[in-house]
Chains A and B, each alone.
Chain A
């Protein structure tokens, strides 16, 4: 395309390492216990794919803090996405709702990066079909801004101001072999509609 786009992309640099992530999860776990007054009716739901691993870690940490086994589940939001028609049909991930259900519970959704907010919108729609929680809260490892919907997180690991041209990568040892959060120039496999629009008008953006 234009020569402008071919200017050397910045290599991703690390903003959080393994110990940072562990510290962040410990802090979020304490915040959940504090805000939910003991976390007795909490249900953790991890959103695929990395939210599931984060929810598992949060679950382990909460078990240490509260000496309780907090119900843990997973949520696949594929069927509720608003961009299904933009790509060929994708494979579904496993949704597992804890045996006690979510009716009357405090559901904490867990995801890795909060960006446009569309994933969370889809997750809220999915919850609507599964039951009626007392309240729904959101925990994310990274909030990178650029919301496209009126959605915010209740527990944030790190607020990371980014440009739309950047990509945030979360790597977790359960899946990627190493714990890290990286920021770099996004590749062209952009997923967000906003980023696609930004890409199209990129030459007009200030440097």
Chain B
């Protein structure tokens, strides 16, 4: 494994399977009386959240605490960032305080990559979602959930499984990370979205594109619904919500067109009545709650593999431009 987890594309097939297998072992922990391991005792992990998040932040915090790490929560609101501090100065401050790992969520795509490539921080950088770029731990927990349902067992991948991702692909870091990871694991990914919500250059992504949800459903093993990210939209991408729901939302009759074994996934937060009806969201085939539980195991696995062993000798680069200043 590399020292940082910035993009799902950084993970080789072996790395990804190692994370999933480790997570499978760590998932047992939630059934125990003492849900804690001493593995990261004395290591400090900073959760650096420049953007709102409930699920991811809580999930990381639970994972860190279960591994006995010291957790420091740093959110942009109420910190020096709101007074105008730059990412670099924030990072240097955290380095001076001795952070062994930094979990970053940032509204700008590429912020975690910047932190990982600079020598501002010597610890590991874990991307917890950057702009519309990537969210690798979400992709890992999605793959973990799919594997449990579609091909359970340690060492198994997702070869030949067909995953359909529906909705706002353009603004979705979840879709981007998933397409990399799922392809690495051998799955076939199909995107279904209105043409306005597909990114430019999608023809170069390792996936297929369809505009017709109905025709794709019978050939789907896992259906992943995405939220329409209104907060990132500055233009009208579709005429009305009702039209979007009619063409790209999943309801009871649509769910019944899926094969018997197929699951319905959603990274959350769901907007009921928009991309998913309450009937589907509350059905036993919907894995939303399970995905949250799996998120803790997968994040524990990532933290253990990046921080648990010897510090990986990825010599800190001296960024000549920065150090010259």
Give the residue of B22, B34, B307 whose beta carbon is less than 8 angstroms from that of A91. B22
- State which size class the interface on A falls in: 20 to 34
Closest to B308 in A: A89
**Which among A87, A91, A92 has the greatest number of chain B C-beta atoms within 10 A?**
A92
Interface SS of chain A: helix, strand, loop or mixed? loop
**Which among B22, B36, B308, B310 has the greatest number of chain A C-beta atoms within 10 A?**
B308
Task: Write the nearest CB–CB distance from B48 to chain A, whole angstroms.
Answer: 23
How far is B22's CA from A162's CA once the two chains are assembled, in angstroms?
A: 36
| B309 touching A87, Cβ below 8 Å | yes
- Given A79-B38, A80-B38, does the pair A89, B32 have CB atoms closer than 8 Å? no
- Given A79-B37, A129-B32, does the pair A91, B309 have CB atoms closer than 8 Å? no
Kindly state whether residue B208 has any CB partner on chain A within 8 Å. no
Across-interface contacts of A87 in B (CB, < 8 A): 309-310
Across-interface contacts of A112 in B (CB, < 8 A): none
Kindly state whether residue B18 has any CB partner on chain A within 8 Å. yes
Interface digits, A143-179 against B, CB 8 Å rule (1 contact, 0 not)?
0000000000000000000000000000000000000
Closest to B154 in A: A94
| B25 touching A90, Cβ below 8 Å | no
| A88 touching B38, Cβ below 8 Å | no
Which chain B residues numbered 297 to 318 have a C-beta less than 8 Å away from chain A?
Answer: 304-312
| A88 touching B32, Cβ below 8 Å | no
Across-interface contacts of B311 in A (CB, < 8 A): 85
How far is B306's CA from A125's CA once the two chains are assembled, in angstroms?
A: 23
Kindly state whether residue A190 has any CB partner on chain B within 8 Å. no
How far is B33's CA from A130's CA once the two chains are assembled, in angstroms?
A: 7
Interface digits, B33-73 against A, CB 8 Å rule (1 contact, 0 not)?
11011110000000000000000000000000000000000
Task: Write the nearest CB–CB distance from B298 to chain A, whole angstroms.
Answer: 14
How far is B34's CA from A80's CA once the two chains are assembled, in angstroms?
A: 14
Across-interface contacts of B292 in A (CB, < 8 A): none
B residues touching A (Cβ–Cβ < 8 Å)?
1, 18, 21-22, 25-26, 28, 32-34, 36-39, 154, 304-312
11 contacts between A and B (CB under 8 A): A85-B311, A89-B1, A89-B306, A89-B307, A89-B308, A91-B18, A91-B22, A92-B21, A92-B25, A94-B25, A130-B32
